[in-house]
Amino acid sequence: MATTTSIILDKRRIKKNGKFPLKLRVTNQRITRDYLTLFELSETDYKRLSGHKVSAELQKVRQTINEIVFGSNSLINQMEVFDFLKFKQEYVDLNTRFFKLNQRK
């Protein structure tokens, strides 16, 4: 079964600034894990990401999100057997675009 990745806006928790955290969602054999990125967007900005005309700031976010997805897919394709722990250790923990446990306030 294929492993899929996507970026989601986690609307379960709104931050004080009115924005929501962006997460990398990885799904394998109907098991899903979400990894918290450093990015947060309003619901409106998240919808604008897929548009043609976006601000320079959103273009940077979109580019970085695409790099996160591309990098995660590259590692997943290199793995003979997908393992969430190995993925986290080799991609999420080594990537500066994700929150680490000791970074949270």
Per-residue pLDDT at 31: 95
As a whole number, the mean pLDDT across the chain is 91
Angle (CA) 63-59-4 rounded to 5° is: 35
What is the C-alpha separation between 49 and 103, in angstroms, rounded? 26
DSSP 44-90: HHHHHTTSSS--HHHHHHHHHHHHHHHHHHHHHHH-SS--HHHHIII
The two structure tokens encoding residue 102: 């000791």
Q: Cβ distance 40 to 15 under 8 Å?
A: yes
Q: How many CB atoms lie within 10 A of CB 6?
A: 12
Q: Which amino acid is at 81?
A: V
Residue bearing the bigger pLDDT, 51 or 94: 94
The overall pTM is greater than 0.85: yes
